[in-house]
Amino acid sequence: MVEPQQEADQLGLERIVFFSDAVIAIAITLLALEIRLPEVHSGGEIPGALLSLWPRYLGFAVSFLVVGSYWFAHHRVFRAVRRYNDTLIWLNILFLLCIAFVPFASAVLGEHGNERSAVFFYALVMMVTGLIQTLLWVYASRRHRLIDPSFSGRAIRFGTVRALTPPIVFLLSLPLILVHPYAAMAAWALIYPTQAAIRHAEKFG
């Protein structure tokens, strides 16, 4: 089946983006499925039960924002992409495999957020996810293999740096787990200001 204009097909590209969006949207929404009210025996116990779930709420919010930022990064990558090939599709499927795995890692974090091993496992999953996304960008952008030729070398390099930010932050947070699990989780919040600083440097630096 040698399709005409295979490489540059806009419609085929849209379908890849669409499928990715659907997978990410499902994974991000399933994060909340892990939050369940424990059984209560009287109405008076409900406020306490709702409050006692705060580590779950926190785990949900953290994971939602991290996956949300991965979606945003995926959005940026594919706005640059103009062509695709089998390798890009398989790298993307690998990335989605990681994303689909996040609700499990997030459930482990929500249940055992005060345990070092759970935080380590979660950071590891997120780090691998971010590394595959970086790989996807490097593969697509290297020598403008699949991206718009109007991108400057500088823009490509900044894209790589931005894609590397989450996995590097997750990597650097690993030793903090030895101090305290929550110290590592607090460090993850650095992803946002770091990315904002990189954007600022890119625009005005």
According to CB under 8 A, which residues from 143 to 162 bind a copy of itself?
Answer: 148, 150-152, 155-156, 158-159, 162
Look up residue 36 and give its two tokens.
């369940």
CB of 188 to a copy of itself, least distance (A): 16
Q: Footprint of a copy of itself on residues 7-36 (CB under 8 A)? A: 9, 11-12, 15-19, 21-33, 35-36
The β-bridge partners of 159 are: none
Out of 81, 88, 91, 118, the only residue in the binding site for a copy of itself (CB under 8 A) is 118
Per-residue binding string, a copy of itself, 167-196, x by CB under 8 A, is: ------------------------------
Q: Of 198, 63, 184, 82, whose CA–CA distance to 140 is shortest?
A: 82
Q: Taking the alpha carbons of 102, 108, 114, 120 in that order, is the dihedral positive or negative?
A: negative
Per-residue binding string, a copy of itself, 40-79, x by CB under 8 A, is: x--x--xx--x---------xx--xx--x--xx--xx--x
Does residue number 201 form part of the binding site for a copy of itself (CB under 8 A)?
no
Q: How many CA atoms lie within 13 A of 169 on its CB side?
A: 22
How far the first Cα of the chain sits from its last, in Å, is 48
In angstroms, the CA 104 to CA 122 distance is 9
CB of 205 to a copy of itself, least distance (A): 12
